[in-house]
Amino acid sequence: MDASGGGGPPRRARLDLARLNRVLVVNAGSTSLKLSVVDAADESRTVESLAALPPGVDAVAHRVVHGGATFRDPVLIDASVEDELCRLVELAPLHNAPAIAGIDDARAALPEVPHVAVFDTAFHATIPDEAATYALPRTFREEWGIRRYGFHGLSVRWAAERVPVERLVVCHLGGGCSVTAVLHGRSVDTTMGFTPLEGVPMATRAGSIDPGALFQLVRHGVSTDALEHALENESGLAGLSGGSGDVRELERSDDHSARLALDVYTYRIAGAVAAMAVPVGGLDALVFTAGVGEHSASVRARICARLAHLGVELDGAANANAEPDIEIGSRDSRVRVHMIRAREDVVAARAARELLDPR
């Protein structure tokens, strides 16, 4: 396929566009659908639905979570690209399936403008082999493309631009959660892997667990479909608490299971941050972003308290009253701590403009 990825050049649109003033960004995540129109000055306006679009949209950028081994760079969507995206749904069913539905709906609503797929995995293409390679037989790795791809790349790229330090760790904490090591602006390791299931606990996803536990469940009659559903939809904070995967609800609860859920969650995230200091050789700054990262002072405080040995120290008042974008570390903190608003829409719109009008 003449798309991007695999080291090949990106597909270029053959369009004569003098300007791309307004780009509609369709961001279909695992827990939400966000529509926004981003102008040439990177100002964005939220749109409630495709039926409520303002006039003058020049292009559409679609955030697609998993590009597999086929797609790394942005690509102009046509029938062959959409067919390949459908094939990749099994790698990220909670994400790619909604993305394809969004593509179909937006192409029907805006058939005359170009549509571009922008991939979350692209930012992590710089991860070195030592971090990307699983210790599996070569046949598994080569025949099935089993490797660490990484996700939340658009969000991490934005955070790295906003906090341009040499050694950065980004905590994207939302419905899905990941922790990424960024060295000189390039991803060098991340907690999510072949799929968005790996890594730290999330709202309803388990994160990393012993594969032997899964074998045990299958041997005792749990089907692979039931297991996949449980790992994707009934685990993480929801599984630990026995109910909600919403951090806000857990923070308001006095139930032991709710407290345990938050303890496990923040413990694992702090451990991931400490681990990500290895590939970057230390830590200059720590970023919290996305829904939980931006809105839960308690989660930020719990994580940072576990990282005091690395020189992380919050300013309690700044953290409690934080509005993005802001630095919330104390004056004595050896590691700068920031809370940054996620702007995946801006990164996606820029990528679409660069593809369609590379001047």
- Do domains 1-163+344-359 and 164-339 share one topology? The answer is yes
Q: Which range has the worst mean pLDDT, 1-5, 282-286, 324-328? A: 1-5
The pLDDT value recorded for residue 145 is 87
What are the residues whose beta carbons fall under 8 Å from the beta carbon of 65, sequence distance 6 or more? 29, 92, 95, 96, 99, 119, 120, 121, 151, 196
pLDDT, tens digit (0-9, with 9 covering 90-100), for 134-159: 999 999 999 988 999 999 999 999 99
pLDDT band for position 19 (cuts 50, 70, 90): low
Residue 222 in tokens: 């749990």
What are the residues whose beta carbons fall under 8 Å from the beta carbon of 60, sequence distance 6 or more? 23, 24, 25, 26, 106, 107, 110, 113, 114, 115, 116, 352
39, 22 in Cβ contact below 8 A?
yes
Task: Give dist(CA 206, CA 217) in Å, integer.
Answer: 15
The pLDDT value recorded for residue 359 is 64
Strand 326-327 to 167-173 pairing = unpaired
Given a cut of 60, is residue 2 above it in pLDDT? no
Dihedral sign, CA of 356, 51, 176, 276? positive
Is 120 an annotated catalytic residue?
yes
Greatest alpha-carbon span in the chain: 62
For domain 1-163+344-359, the CATH class is alpha beta
- Residue 226: in which H helix or E strand, if any? helix 224-233
Task: Give dist(CA 127, CA 104) in Å, integer.
Answer: 32
pLDDT band for position 94 (cuts 50, 70, 90): low
168, 209 in Cβ contact below 8 A?
no
Residue with tokens 């909600």: 244
Mean pLDDT, the chain, whole residue set: 90
Q: Which range has the worst mean pLDDT, 64-78, 102-116, 123-137, 164-178? A: 64-78
What are the residues whose beta carbons fall under 8 Å from the beta carbon of 47, sequence distance 6 or more? 24, 35, 36, 37, 53, 54
Highest-confidence segment of 11-25, 83-97, 101-115, 311-325 = 311-325
Task: Give dist(CA 218, CA 228) in Å, integer.
Answer: 11
Give the count of beta carbons closer than 10 Å to the beta carbon of residue 359.
6
Task: Give dist(CA 268, CA 264) in Å, integer.
Answer: 6
Given a cut of 80, is residue 12 above it in pLDDT? no
Cα–Cα–Cα angle for 189, 72, 273, nearest 5°?
15
pLDDT band for position 184 (cuts 50, 70, 90): very high
Give the count of beta carbons closer than 10 Å to the beta carbon of residue 281.
12
Q: Which of 73, 78, 105, 120 is catalytic?
A: 120
164-339: in CATH 3.40.1370.10: no
Kindly state the percentage of the chain with pLDDT values over 70: 92
Cα–Cα–Cα angle for 61, 126, 91, nearest 5°?
60
DSSP class of residue 166 equals S
Query: So where are the chain's domains?
Result: 1-163+344-359, 164-339
Rg, C-alpha atoms of the chain: 20
**Closest-CA residue to 37 (of 18, 17, 54):** 54
The pLDDT value recorded for residue 30 is 59
pTM over 0.85: yes
pLDDT, tens digit (0-9, with 9 covering 90-100), for 36-61: 999 989 999 999 988 888 888 999 99
pLDDT band for position 329 (cuts 50, 70, 90): very high
Residue with tokens 């990177």: 42
